[in-house]
Amino acid sequence: MTARSPVPAPPPEPPRGLTRRRLLGTGLAGAGALLGAGTLAGCASPASASGASALSVWDLFQGGDGMLMDDMIEAVSRQGRGFDVDRTILDWGPSYYTKLAMSAAGGRASDVAVLHLSRLAGYAPGGLLDPFDLELLAEFGVTEQDFTPAVWARTKHDGTVYAIPLDVHPFIVFYDKEAAGKAGLLDADGELAPMGSPEALLEAGRGLAEATGAAGILFGHVTDTAQSWRQFAAFYAQTGAAFTLPDGGPPRIDVDAAVEVVSFMRRLFDGRTNPDNLDYNGALAAFTSGRGGMAMLGEWELPTLRKSGIPLGAAPFPQVFDRPAVYTDSHSFVLPHQDDPDPARRREAHRYVAEMIKQSLTWASAGHIPAYQPVLATPEYAALTPQSSYAEAGKAAVLDPPNWFTGAASNFQNRMCQPLQSALLGNTTAEQAVRQMVREADALLKQPNPVA
């Protein structure tokens, strides 16, 4: 049922704990069927009450991120008392969250798991997560003061902390520094200058198009289940309007502000200066091949963009309305619910989370912003380029509304994107798109929470 990667040969001075990896794809884990809690627990090799087995950890990091996570686990396993970690990697997306919920509902989940902070409202209220002991975390050197208020505020349910953020991963802009220089968009330090208004961003697109001889600003949204929402949510939050989804409805959305934002998005992606019909891969390919001066993407694309050879710059998502706001999410550590957790193992889980947070400089090499501010303040992080150029995005972080149906890989994002995509393609007006978004949100609010 699971496949193990070979355990690397030990160094001359062996570590105190060995890291074991298991990769569970959807097919391997049951051909997409919902798994019972006992089956999941068996796959994850959860720790026994005796505390003799490895600390079990679930996450969704594969590829380059997966290797960085291995490096971090190896680092914490070698230092001090070390750890013996049994790491299980599951496919990213809805299947991961289904399996996490099923295992927690059975009370036999892993000791630690990774959760997008935007999904917390779907897990903490239903008893699928156990809270963190903040005094215990402080004993291991991690406190509330080590995180920005914008991010820490989202770690709580009913005033209790259920998640400890590892990173902030925002929706930002990457740009070709040579093209941006020709367009007059750089400041005295050679970084992207602030925009400050919708017209300034429109003008930047025209300038970049002229500088590249191709497109100005690239944005892939066609058939994507999240991109349009990420862009809309950032611009909308910049207006200062609230997007609130109270239980039972109706949605509290400023329709005028939303229409203003969608109208601006339609102007920005006019199909001439800036293409309006690109999918995600098409936009990425156009930017890496020099056929555009700027791309609106997640910071997680940094490793791919570095391989392109273009003179790469990066900046927080441009502020064009009244206040700074950057759409983001956060990979966070959580304690999946266990019916009878062993106190010693739960203490080790807290120590593990604290030590992994302190290793986030390694995690930052892939583009992620460390949520743990002591790492962010180090000279080593300041030396990372272009990562340090968009570090301020964490202070203006905006996540999905805190509802059980929102967040990463959620149907909410998909249902918001469909009317937005239609508007950007010119098939509907901005007002029609917003009215449809309100209806979709209202329909979701009328659905019962399956774990409440």
> Is there a cis peptide before residue 386, judged by omega within 30 degrees of 0?
yes
Question: What is the per-residue pLDDT for 108?
Answer: 80
Return d(Cα 136, Cα 139) in angstroms, integer: 5
pLDDT tens track, the chain, 452 positions: 333 233 333 333 333 444 567 776 543 333 333 333 333 333 333 333 334 479 999 999 999 999 999 999 999 999 888 999 999 999 999 999 999 999 999 878 999 999 999 999 999 999 999 999 999 999 999 999 999 999 999 999 999 999 999 999 999 999 999 999 999 999 999 999 999 999 999 999 999 999 999 999 999 999 999 999 999 999 999 999 999 999 999 999 999 999 999 999 999 999 999 999 999 999 999 999 999 999 999 999 999 999 999 999 999 999 999 999 999 999 999 999 999 999 999 999 999 999 999 999 999 999 999 999 999 999 999 999 999 999 999 999 999 999 999 999 999 999 999 999 999 999 999 999 999 999 999 999 999 988 77
Total count of residues recorded for the chain: 452
Contact between residue 360 and residue 167 where contact means Cβ atoms under 8 Å apart: yes
Question: What is the per-residue pLDDT for 390?
Answer: 98
Return d(Cα 411, Cα 403) in angstroms, integer: 12
Provide DSSP, 280-293: HHHHHHHHHTTSEE
Question: Which of 442, 46, 420, 413 is CA-nearest to residue 221?
Answer: 420
Tokens encoding 341: 């957790």
CATH architecture of 169-328+410-445: 3-Layer(aba) Sandwich (3.40)
Looking only at Cα atoms, what is the longest distance across the chain?
67
Return d(Cα 401, Cα 389) in angstroms, integer: 27
Question: Which of 418, 415, 405 is CA-nearest to residue 97?
Answer: 405
For residue 86, give the DSSP letter: E
Tokens encoding 180: 């941006």
| Predicted model pTM | 0.90
CATH class of 3-166+330-387: alpha beta
All CATH 3.40.190.10 domain ranges in the chain, comma separated: 3-166+330-387, 169-328+410-445
- The pairs formed by 128-131 with CB atoms below 8 angstroms and a separation of 24 or more are 128/100, 128/101, 128/104, 128/336, 128/337, 128/451, 129/104, 129/162, 129/163, 129/334, 129/335, 129/336, 129/337, 130/162, 130/335, 130/336, 130/337, 130/338, 130/341, 130/346, 131/160, 131/161, 131/162, 131/335
Question: What is the per-residue pLDDT for 25?
Answer: 56
- Which residues on neighbouring strands pair with residue 23, listed in sequence order? 3, 89
In a 10 Å sphere around its CB, with 0-12 CB exposed, 13-18 middle and 19+ buried, how is residue 274 labelled? buried
